[in-house]
Amino acid sequence: MRVYLILLLLGTVTYSSSQVAPLTTAPDGGNKKASVSEQIGIVKIAVNYCRPGVKGREGKIWGTSVAHYGLQDLGHGTSYAAPWRAGANENTTISFSHPVDIEGKGLGAGIYGFFIINGETESTLIFSKNHSSWGSFYYDPAADALRVTVKNQTLDKSVEWLTYEFMDQTDSSAMVALSWEKRMIRFKISADIKRLQIEEFKKDFQTTRPADDFIQAATFCLANNYELEQGLAWIDRGLYFRIMGQKSFRGLSTRAAILTKLNRLDEAKKTMDDALPLGTMTDIHFYGRTLLAAKQTQEALKVFKANYDKYPNVYTTNVGMGRAYSALGDFKNALFYMKAALGQAPDNLNKNSVESMIRKLEKNVDVN
């Protein structure tokens, strides 16, 4: 009976220990775990790594056993010619939600192990399909997805803890820089953000979506002067599609703007004629200002006059009429409406703006 109880207890202990999660501990060797991420358009990029410290080893980092040059047998794992792990502990990884270019070379979406073949003046960066092995001890060149070579840069001040950061960002690119001790190794990531965004919109529109989503997609095409015919198709779906289509000033004015870009001016004007009755006072006012900016002065006057007739003698429509007459060079009438607007200004900011325009008009200077 005693033997049975002992075996039972041992079995219980064994079973329980198999269900216990590992202890929560800090990274080995005093290294720090870190991650950094950023987006380029819709492309999400993340670097996960461990940060070793210099710890008094200035001048003894690069080209030593800490961050060796070339490919070496590290005495562990399956690799007899291993690159540097580009960090510490488990291997550094970098992920991309969409395809990108690295230093001008294409790389698909995914998670990659990131390794570096260090050199004195330049380094070869390796993006490996194997991102789950420990360090670079199991590196296999057959798993390389991409290699690029970049020049090393010398830093004036020593960086104690190895750091990855994003820098020199543009709308479609960013540099990723590894800095440690007095060396920086950086590479450029770029993406065709317009094409990728259009592809995502196409995926999104394979199901039922509200009309505003189509306006947003069409507005992207308009703002970037990109895939305008596709943008027109999307806005038409948002406006006219069975059951889900919904006419609105915003949708129709977006359609008109795309048609104008496509030089289909008669159709654009007809669309705006349909839009105007649906617009608020503010909608119409800003459309009139758009016409002024496009130097369509007579058309702008018609729009501001229609707005004034519907909402007579209020701040917004008085300012609109003042702007329209100013654009025509009729400063006398412009002053009449601006002075009327001055006493209706809703706050000091608008009051100061109107006062500034009145001073210009008194000097026969266009306020637009």
pLDDT tens digits for range 198-215? 999 999 999 999 999 999
**pLDDT of the residue at 139:** 95
Report the pLDDT averaged over residues 289-296.
89
Q: What confidence category does residue 244 fall into, taking pLDDT thresholds of 50, 70 and 90?
A: confident
How confident is residue 17, by pLDDT bands cut at 50, 70 and 90? very low
Q: How far apart are CA 117 and CA 175, in angstroms?
A: 19
The mean of the pLDDT values for the chain is 92
Read off the pLDDT band of 265 (50, 70, 90): very high
Positive or negative, the CA dihedral 224, 225, 227, 233 is: positive
pLDDT of amino acid 242: 86
Query: Residue 9 — pLDDT band, cuts 50, 70, 90?
Result: very low
Nearest to 147 by CA among 105, 188, 109, 108: 105
Mean pLDDT lowest among 108-117, 150-159, 236-245, 321-330: 236-245
* Torsions phi, psi for 14 (to 5 deg): -60, -45
Tell me: pLDDT of 13 over 50. Answer: no
Under 8 Å between Cβ of 115 and 149:
no
What is the torsion angle, in degrees rounded to the nearest 10, for the CA atoms of residue 130, residue 135, residue 141 and residue 142?
-30
Percent of the chain with pLDDT over 90: 86
> Which residue pairs, CB below 8 angstroms and at least 24 apart, start in 168-171?
169/38, 169/40, 171/40, 171/41
Contact 92, 132 (CB under 8 A): no
- SS3 call for 144: strand
Element housing 188 (H / E) = strand 173-190
Q: In this structure, what are the phi and psi dihedrals at residue 193, rounded to the nearest 5 degrees?
A: -65, -30
Residue 49: phi and psi, rounded to 5, are -160, 170
Rounded mean pLDDT, 265-288: 94
Neighbouring-strand partners of residue 202: none
Q: Whole-angstrom Cα distance, residue 329 to residue 361?
A: 9
At what angle are helices 315-327 and 331-342 packed, to 10 degrees? 160
How do residues 56-104 score in pLDDT, each as one tens digit?
A: 999 999 999 999 999 999 999 999 999 999 999 989 999 999 999 999 9
> Of 292, 223, 222, whose CA–CA distance to 262 is shortest?
222
Give the pLDDT confidence score for residue 19 in this predicted structure.
63
pLDDT at 243: 79
Residue 26 has pLDDT above 80, yes or no: no
pLDDT, tens digit, for every residue of 305-339? 999 999 999 999 999 999 999 999 999 999 999 99
Question: Looking at residue 111, what is its pLDDT?
Answer: 98
